């Protein structure tokens, strides 16, 4: 629960800061996702939408503005990750019908995903706490969430592609 507090603080931010944020270029993020080669780590385009958000925002150069832009991009990657999770779980469920115990692979993915989410939140919470005396902690936390979420979205996609 403590790891959730930094997320809420970033997303809740001052209303004036949220109102000044431009809408992210969703196409840029989706193109980044689509262009990432299988099993190649984080794509170089990760964070480009957040950077554009920072450049276009009146407060984008501030710690709060930067963290809000990174958190906004993370939200899009989170949606991509959830979509990839559902697709991969369905894919594994179909494979389970071809010989594995009913639901074994799909259930294993569900367990792994829950554990991974707990790891991500704990890891990013740790990074936040390491910098608890500095305002940069919110940017470090947001960047951690972005990196780990994007990495997981791509890994979930790659599970299906490497099984073809």
The C-alpha atoms of residue 18 and residue 1 are separated, in whole angstroms, by 24
Nearest to 62 by CA among 144, 119, 138, 131: 138
Predicted local distance difference test score (pLDDT) of residue 38 = 92
Sign of CA dihedral 143, 122, 30, 159: positive
pTM for this entry: 0.83
Question: What rounded mean pLDDT belongs to the chain?
Answer: 86
Residue 78 has pLDDT above 50, yes or no: yes
Three-state SS at 132 = coil
Q: Give residue 3's pLDDT band: very low, low, confident or very high (50, 70, 90).
A: very low
The pLDDT tens digits for 134-146 are: 899 999 999 999 9
The C-alpha atoms of residue 136 and residue 62 are separated, in whole angstroms, by 10
Range of the domain at 106: 4-161
The C-alpha atoms of residue 73 and residue 63 are separated, in whole angstroms, by 16
The CATH number for 124's domain is 1.20.1270.180
Higher pLDDT residue, 149 or 132? 149
Higher pLDDT residue, 118 or 10? 118
List Cβ neighbours of 145 (8 Å cut-off, separation of 6 or more).
7, 70, 71, 74, 120, 124
Residue 123 has pLDDT above 70, yes or no: yes
**pLDDT, mean of residues 39-68:** 93
The tally of domains found in the chain comes to 1
- Give, to the nearest 10 degrees, the angle between helix 137-161 and helix 4-12: 110
């Amino acid at each position: 629960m403590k790891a959730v507090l930094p997320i809420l603080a970033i997303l809740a931010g001052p209303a004036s800061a949220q109102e000044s944020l431009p809408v992210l270029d969703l196409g840029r993020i989706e193109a980044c996702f689509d262009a990432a080669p299988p099993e190649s780590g984080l794509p170089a385009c990760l964070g480009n939408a957040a950077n554009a958000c920072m450049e276009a925002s009146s407060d984008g150069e501030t710690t709060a503005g930067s963290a809000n832009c990174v958190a906004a991009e993370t939200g899009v990657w989170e949606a991509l990750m959830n979509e990839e999770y559902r697709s991969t779980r369905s894919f594994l469920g179909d494979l389970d019908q071809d010989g594995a115990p009913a639901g074994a692979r799909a259930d294993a993915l569900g367990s792994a995903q829950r554990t991974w989410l707990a790891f991500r939140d704990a890891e990013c919470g740790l990074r936040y706490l390491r910098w608890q005396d500095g305002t940069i902690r919110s940017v470090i936390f947001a960047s951690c969430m972005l990196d780990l979420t994007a990495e997981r979205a791509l890994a979930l996609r790659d599970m299906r592609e490497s099984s073809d």
